[in-house]
């Protein structure tokens, strides 16, 4: 039987490799800080906000607050990640083919952001009577309430 730590170090290794490939494709320098940020986002099951990212990073990599902002901003520009702002807080998630744009659910109790089933852009676009000639570039749908855990806990 494989050991826990072994499986994990193996996964970490794969992730590091993927991170390098991603940055290669994007044509940006492969720095330790960028790899670390990318790995944290690829490990995450839900979109993460800056403070979660900082916490996860500080234990492993020495990284400045400003650097995180700059890396996230660069990743966003290059289409590597997407940001979701729910209740005034920015969350980040990987933007891959396998992970298309989708609505999010923000628990008002625990604050966790979960991903909902995707709605295609055209489906969503169809909903809104935009006879006024707006050019739609982004549709953000955020739903809030209580997640199943918090709902049952109360």
> Which partner from the list DNA, its own copies, none does 108 bind, CB cut-off 5 to 8 Å by kind?
its own copies
Q: Which is nearer to DNA, 44 or 124 (CB)?
A: 44
Contacts to DNA by CB under 7 A: 28-34, 49-51, 62-67, 69-71, 73, 88-90
> Which partner from the list its own copies, DNA, none does 121 bind, CB cut-off 5 to 8 Å by kind?
none
Q: Which is nearer to its own copies, 15 or 102 (CB)?
A: 102
Contacts to its own copies by CB under 8 A: 85-90, 103, 105, 108, 116-117, 119, 127-130, 132-148, 151
Minimum CB–partner distance for residue 35 and DNA (Å)? 9
Q: Which is nearer to DNA, 64 or 154 (CB)?
A: 64
> Which partner from the list its own copies, DNA, none does 44 bind, CB cut-off 5 to 8 Å by kind?
none
CA 89/CA 22 separation, integer angstroms: 26
Residue 35's φ and ψ, nearest 5 degrees, are -60, -45
Minimum CB–partner distance for residue 123 and its own copies (Å)? 8
Question: If 0-12 CB within 10 Å is exposed, 13-18 middle and 19+ buried, where does residue 34 land?
Answer: buried
CA 120/CA 126 separation, integer angstroms: 10
Question: If 0-12 CB within 10 Å is exposed, 13-18 middle and 19+ buried, where does residue 91 land?
Answer: buried
Q: Which is nearer to its own copies, 21 or 116 (CB)?
A: 116
Q: Which two tokens stand for residue 78?
A: 């290059």
Distant-in-sequence, close-in-space partners of 154: CB < 8 Å, separation ≥ 6 = 109, 146
């Amino acid at each position: 039987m494989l050991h826990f730590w072994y499986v994990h170090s193996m996964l970490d290794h794969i992730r590091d490799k993927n991170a390098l490939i991603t940055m290669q494709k994007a044509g940006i320098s492969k720095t330790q800080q960028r790899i670390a940020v990318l790995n944290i986002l690829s490990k995450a099951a839900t979109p993460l906000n800056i403070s979660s990212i900082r916490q996860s990073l500080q234990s492993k990599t020495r990284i400045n607050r400003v650097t995180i902002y700059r890396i996230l901003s660069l990743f966003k520009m290059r289409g590597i990640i997407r940001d979701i702002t729910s209740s005034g807080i920015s969350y980040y998630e990987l933007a891959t083919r396998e992970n298309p744009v989708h609505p999010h659910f923000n628990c008002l109790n625990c604050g966790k952001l979960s991903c909902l089933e995707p709605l295609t852009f055209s489906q969503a676009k169809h909903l809104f009577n935009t006879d006024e000639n707006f050019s739609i570039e982004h549709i953000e749908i955020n739903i809030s309430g209580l997640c199943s855990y918090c709902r049952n806990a109360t």
